[in-house]
Structure 1
Amino acid sequence: MKEYKVVNWKMGFSGNNQKLEDTLNQYAREGWVLKHIAENSVRIILERDKNR
């Protein structure tokens, strides 16, 4: 079974790319996999196995 996480992201701040990278890497360490991020979107969808 899969579980999903929706992360709201604020675009356009100084240093935002590094903060986004750090955030995605932290979620990856927790087992989350990026499933979708739309251009100009403020929502990132992550997925992982629920029974890991």
Structure 2
Amino acid sequence: MKIGTVTVLGATLVAMLALSSCGNTIRGMGRDTANAVDATQSAGRDVDRAASR
């Protein structure tokens, strides 16, 4: 193989790895956000129950 071909293949591999890492991070942030919303709603229900006693 020529040096240029090896360089292009290497750059493509690095770009694919970087993009897959970003996808995992974004997916994780979505899960964290959903968990925060669930916790906030649960806390709101707890406060509502306590206030209606």
TM-score (structure 2 length as normaliser): 0.34
Higher-helix-fraction structure: 2
TM-score (structure 1 length as normaliser): 0.35
Looking at both structures, which has the greater relative contact order when contacts are Cα pairs under 8 Å and sequence separation is at least 6?
1
Higher-strand-fraction structure: 1
